[in-house]
Chain A
Amino acid sequence: MTLSGSLSATVADGTVEFRYEVTNDGDEPVELQFSNAQTHDVVVFEDGEEVWSFAAGRMFAQMLQSEAWAPGESSSYGATWADAPSGEYEARAWLAANDADAEAATSFSV
Chain B
Amino acid sequence: MSGKDKHTSRRDVLKTATGALAATGIVGMAEARPVDKVEVNVGFDDVRGKAAVERKADSVVREFNFDAMTVQLPKKAADALQRNPSIRYVEENGEMHALAQTTPWGIDRTDSEVAHANGETGSGADVAIIDTGIDSDHPDLQGNLGKGKSFVQCSTKGGCRFGAKPADNTCNTSWDDDNNHGTHCAGIAGGVDNTEGAVGVGPDVTLHAVKVLDKCGSGSFSDIAAGVQWVADQGYDVASMSLGGSSSSSALQDAVQYAAEKGVFQVAAAGNSGPCSDCVGYPAAYSEVMAVSSTASDDTLSDFSSTGPEVEIAAPGSDIYSSVASNGGYDTYSGTSMACPHVAGAAGQLMADGATASDARSTLTSSAEDIGLASNESGAGLLDVASALGLDSSDD
Q: Is the CB of B218 within 8 A of A62?
A: no
Q: Is A61 an interface residue (CB 8 A)?
A: yes
Q: Is A48 an interface residue (CB 8 A)?
A: no
**Shortest distance between the CB of A21 and any CB in chain B (Å):** 12
Q: Which of A34, A59, A77 contacts B244 (CB 8 A)?
A: A59
Name 13 A/B residue pairs within 8 A (Cβ), A-sorted: A36-B271, A39-B162, A58-B218, A61-B179, A61-B217, A61-B243, A62-B340, A63-B184, A63-B333, A63-B334, A64-B334, A75-B162, A77-B161
Q: Is A35 an interface residue (CB 8 A)?
A: yes
Q: Is the CB of A75 within 8 A of B243?
A: no
Q: Is the CB of B221 within 8 A of A62?
A: no
16 new A-B pairs (CB below 8 Å) besides A37-B179, A39-B216, A62-B243?
A36-B272, A36-B337, A37-B216, A55-B245, A57-B221, A59-B243, A61-B132, A61-B213, A61-B337, A62-B335, A62-B336, A63-B217, A64-B335, A68-B162, A75-B161, A77-B161
Q: Is B131 an interface residue (CB 8 A)?
A: yes
Q: How far is the CA of A73 from the CA of B273 in the complex (A)?
A: 28
The number of chain B residues touching the other chain, given as a range, is 35 or more
Q: Is the CB of B163 within 8 A of A62?
A: no
Q: Is the CB of A73 within 8 A of B163?
A: yes
Q: Is B344 an interface residue (CB 8 A)?
A: no
Q: Is B232 an interface residue (CB 8 A)?
A: no
Convert A30-74 into 0s and 1s, putting 1 for each residue whose CB lies closer than 8 angstroms to a CB of B: 001011111100000000000000011111111111011100010
Q: How far is the CA of A64 from the CA of B10 in the complex (A)?
A: 47
Report B's interface with A, CB cutoff 8 A: 131-132, 159-164, 179, 181, 184, 213, 216-221, 224, 242-245, 247, 249, 252, 269, 271-273, 281-283, 304, 333-338, 340
Q: Is the CB of A58 within 8 A of B333?
A: no
Residue of B nearest to A56 (CB): B247
**Shortest distance between the CB of B338 and any CB in chain A (Å):** 7
Q: Is the CB of B162 within 8 A of A32?
A: yes
Q: Is the CB of B163 within 8 A of A59?
A: no
Q: Which of B219, B304, B334 contacts A59 (CB 8 A)?
A: B219
Q: How far is the CA of A7 from the CA of B221 in the complex (A)?
A: 25
Report A's interface with B, CB cutoff 8 A: 32, 34-39, 55-65, 67-69, 73, 75, 77
Residue of A nearest to B294 (CB): A62
Q: Which residues of A contact B217 (CB under 8 A)?
A: 36-37, 60-61, 63
Q: Is the CB of B304 within 8 A of A37?
A: no
Q: Is the CB of B162 within 8 A of A60?
A: no
- Do A36 and B163 contact each other (CB < 8 Å), given the known contacts A59-B221, A59-B243, A60-B218? no
Q: Which residues of A contact B218 (CB under 8 A)?
A: 37-38, 58-61
Q: Is the CB of B164 within 8 A of A36?
A: no
Q: Which residues of B contact A34 (CB under 8 A)?
A: 161
**Shortest distance between the CB of A52 and any CB in chain B (Å):** 13
Q: Which residues of B contact A65 (CB under 8 A)?
A: 161, 164
Q: Which residues of A contact B244 (CB under 8 A)?
A: 36, 59-60, 62
Residue of A35, A60, A62, A64 contacting most chain B CB atoms (<10 Å): A62
- Do A37 and B213 contact each other (CB < 8 Å), given the known contacts A57-B220, A63-B333? yes
Residue of A nearest to B292 (CB): A62
Residue of A nearest to B164 (CB): A67
Residue of A nearest to B302 (CB): A64
**Shortest distance between the CB of B335 and any CB in chain A (Å):** 4
**Shortest distance between the CB of B263 and any CB in chain A (Å):** 24
- Do A59 and B179 contact each other (CB < 8 Å), given the known contacts A64-B333, A67-B163, A75-B162? no
Q: Which residues of B contact A58 (CB under 8 A)?
A: 218-221, 245
Q: Which residues of B contact A35 (CB under 8 A)?
A: 272-273, 304
Q: Which residues of B contact A59 (CB under 8 A)?
A: 213, 218-219, 221, 224, 243-245, 249, 252, 282-283
